A and B are shown apart, each in its own frame.
Chain A
Amino acid sequence: MATHEHAVHAHAAPQGFIRKYVFSLDHKVIGLQYYFLALAAVFTGMFLSLLMRIHLVWPNASIPFFGDIKPEQYLSLLTMHGTIMVFFVLTTAPQGGFGNYFLPIQIGAPDMAFPVLNMLSFWTTLLGFIVLIAAFFVTGGAPLHGWTGYAPLSALQSAGPGEGLGADLWITSIAIFCIGALMGALNFITTTLDMRAKGMSLMRMPLTVWAWFVTAILGLLAFGVLLSAGILLLMDRHLGTSFFVPVTTVNGVLTGHKGGSPLLWQHLFWFFGHPEVYIAILPAMGLCSQLLSVFSRKPIFGYKAMVYAIMAIGFLGFMVWGHHMFMSGMNPTVAFSFSVLTMGIGVPSAIKTFNWLGTLWRGRIRLSSPMLFAIGFVSLFVVGGISGPFLAQPVLDIYLHETFFVIAHFHLIMGVASIFGIFAATYYWFPKMFGRMMNETLAKAHFFLTFIGAYCIFMPMHFTGMGGLLRRYSQYTEVQWMHSMAGVNKFITFAAFVTIASQFIFLFNFFWSMKKGEKAADNPWEATTLEWITATPPPHDNFGGVTPVVYNGPYEYSVPGAPKDFVMQTDPAVGDMDQKKGKH
């Protein structure tokens, strides 16, 4: 199987700058293109959040080069912050970036199954980003309906500034992104199923590959629904349909719609939106499982349980979307069913956490920078994981829905934990991608500042949420009960300053190390998976004309009797080695 596929799919090494670095078919170049897109997006999104934090604490302050922030502009900032971060960072970097670069290598393939489709998916995604950013510059500005775009607010041009052309661009951008994501998902699924090297059985795949694979399946099922919903929304806005809008008046003027259902949009959006949470976090879970094993010099605790947990999360992820809608007017009996399933999805997540702790237990832990971020990920994941059960219970959601408790929860688990996965992956794979090591001292400084900073920003938000602080308020000056939280809000803004500033340590380290970093060995972390048997950086066909053959699982560390404390996947099988040495 393997040799035949390779012969069909391998393509000649490209010549010339354009074919090599711009319209490249090489999954590694495309992976880096996705990564740099996400890097540009994350700094844009972060800058928007900084403006928001400043405005919340000093509502009358004038921002240099920007001026006053009006209420509708604040709402545009939060809409664009959420959209950029969810789509162009959390979906783009872990899957499009690292998945593209390392999935083929980790399964021993020379490229993705469909290289042209791969190139198209990146350029489509980039187009989506450009269209989104364009929304800032049109009349009325960017939309103010939030990243969830609830109809009718998102469906009625008269509902507010930004709901004209800005909203059209927003919807179009998301639709374009969906098309790119669908192409990518097809490619990932086919590649994983058809392109594995000899001996790379499904149960010998690294957990990173399992995570990318299941994430791709989620993407295939979820983005199609969002794409359709987006098209329906555009039709409501321009073609006089009423999918999402009933009889409504804005400022006493009839909108001309009738018979539509605002809840339909929420069902369609969250049918995508909840799996999207797992699209963002699963790759980070796979990666951190990988890193905890590598840097503890121990096999992953419960490999099979981890694989089944990933599948369970993926499967249940499609049955819990209604927990976003407990207060929406949805049938309360249905709401409770969604809530039971939601609590159920906590179980595989908890299994993973226990297994991570089990992997550390009796290990020989090397605290290199990728490992620090992986441990940070576990810590943040736990916090996000225990605030979830509050929001998953409709009885408690009555109070907590739309408060900062929700902001704290999803930022920690979907935002910061996933970003920690991206950082861990960057520090871990940088040597393979660029042939040089990143500076370890700067990396550690970056870790501690970001780790402590993230807690300082998001931990207090649980408490302001319990105090009833509502999200998506451009000012807290109007409602009496929110006045007492001014001090905490100020603290959060200061913490955001420091945390955002420390990201420039990362940026500097990244580009400095690309040019000046210490030269990396082929396998600097002494890890076992296939990307570490090939040259650094890997050649065009990944393994220099050799097709790897796999004899071992991905996590054979500290095998008794083995010459070193790690056994490569391509080394003679661990079982044979034991027999020869007469162990066990």
Chain B
Amino acid sequence: MGLVLLAVIWLITLIGSYFIVAKTWWLPVGASAAAASIDHHFTVSYILMGGVFILAQLALGWFVWKYRDRGAAAAESAHYSHGNTTLEAVWTVLTIVLFVGLNLASHSIWAAERIDPAQPGAVQVEVTGMQFAWYFRYAGPDGKFGATRPELEDASLGGAGALGLDSNDPASKDDVITGVMVVPVNREIEVILRSHDVIHSFFVPAMRFKQDAVPGLAIHMHFTPIQTGEFELACAELCGLGHYKMHGIVKVVSQEEFDKWLAEREAEKQ
């Protein structure tokens, strides 16, 4: 029985380790400035924790077999010991260093992503979630987002109507509202997250970006795309029956294309 258990535990460890080493499944290729450092920290954690996993399971399997009860024939009884204070101290300190140290090492990345605000020249995009769609708003040439009023919201109108844009506010005249998020490459994007109804979460895996959109709050976050292309986004917070289809596209283009695209949208409004 001991041998069977050893075999099972070691086999599970072996298969688990294979996938850890082979990286059969892994995060998608990163397309933002932060992705490299986040992925690096992920890899460091993966190697350390993978090591702990393998060592602990190997020891567990080994002990179970090695110290199995060999019946009456074996004269030696179990070792009578209530423990060892030095050992307790050693592994307590080791774990503190490993766990807390690992975490503190990640503080600079977290600070850059979340604590530090966006730079002044960042491209502002307001992202609004509602059951079950995302809307993206650009302030236009005046650099000001027009006022929105909840009582004006009508999802069936789409665009400005869905957001409840107040047409009496002069700042709202040049606001551009789209269903696809278009952003220029290598520019910091400041996202202003809002929600009309319940909590949604704006998740763009390739950008290593996720943030809840909470009704009543305007949450400012930022990321910098470093690759052009189309990247899928999806809602990551349970928001109701249509949660599974609340997805969309972040389209990263060159600065020129972005300017052209925005100008065209402005022209359409006239």
Contact = CB atoms under 8 A, between A and B. Distances in A.
Contact of A395 (B84, B106, B215, B219): B106
B63 A357 contact: yes
Interface stretch (A155-163, A169-177, A533-541): A155-163
B151 A254 contact: yes
Contacts of A327: 201, 210-212, 236
B99 A249 contact: no
A395 B110 contact: yes
Interface stretch (B153-161, B176-184, B254-262): B153-161
B28 interface: yes
Contact of A389 (B45, B92, B210, B237): B45
B83 A478 contact: no
A81 to B, nearest CB: 14
A504 interface: no
A452 B1 CA distance: 15
Interface stretch (A42-50, A194-202, A428-436, A465-473): A465-473
Nearest to B238: A472
Contacts of A150: 198-199, 237-238
B143 interface: no
A304 B89 CA distance: 13
Interface residues of B, number: 103
A558 to B, nearest CB: 4
B171 interface: no
Given A365-B67, A394-B114, A479 B59 contact: no
A439 interface: no
Contact of A393 (B56, B84, B103): B103
Interface stretch (A105-113, A341-349, A543-551): A341-349
Interface string A126-158: 000000000000000000111000101100100
Contacts of A328: 199, 212, 214
Interface in B41-59: 41-42, 45-46, 49-50, 52-53, 56-57, 59
A210 B217 CA distance: 44
B210 A399 contact: yes
Contacts of A29: none
Contacts of B199: 150, 152-153, 262, 328
Given A305-B83, A399-B27, A336 B110 contact: yes
A367 B28 CA distance: 44
Contacts of B100: 340, 343-344
A401 B209 CA distance: 11
A260 B25 CA distance: 41
Contacts of B201: 327, 401-402
Given A262-B214, A354-B91, A363-B79, A393 B238 contact: no
A363 B238 CA distance: 49
Nearest to B196: A249
Given A346-B95, A355-B83, A464-B25, A367 B5 contact: yes
Nearest to B12: A455
B9 A379 contact: yes
A71 B242 CA distance: 7
Nearest to A488: B25
Given A247-B216, A261-B216, A382-B60, A402 B203 contact: yes
B95 A351 contact: yes
Contacts of A452: 8, 12
Interface string B177-208: 00000000000000001001111010101001
Contact of A358 (B26, B87, B245): B87
Given A298-B81, A393-B45, A156 B197 contact: yes
Interface in A375-417: 375, 378-379, 382-383, 386-387, 389-390, 392-396, 398-399, 401-403
B238 A152 contact: no
Contact of A346 (B26, B59, B74, B99): B99
A251 interface: yes
B109 interface: yes
B234 A479 contact: yes
A262 B193 CA distance: 15
Contact of A297 (B59, B77, B91): B77
B103 A392 contact: yes
- From A260, A363, A375, A488, residue with most partner B Cβ within 10 Å: A363
A329 B238 contact: no
B248 to A, nearest CB: 10
A475 interface: yes
A332 B114 contact: yes
A358 B83 contact: yes
A357 B56 CA distance: 8
A347 B87 CA distance: 14
A75 B45 contact: no
B150 A393 contact: no
A559 interface: yes
Contacts of B193: 329
A399 B236 contact: no
Given A247-B150, A252-B153, A473-B244, A298 B79 contact: yes
Given A247-B216, A365-B2, A399-B205, 4 more contacts: A248-B150, A249-B153, A395-B106, A466-B26
16 contacts: A71-B243, A144-B240, A159-B198, A248-B150, A249-B197, A254-B150, A299-B83, A302-B84, A328-B199, A328-B214, A329-B193, A350-B95, A350-B99, A468-B28, A479-B244, A558-B79
Nearest 4 pairs between A and B by C-beta?
A246-B216, A302-B83, A463-B25, A362-B79
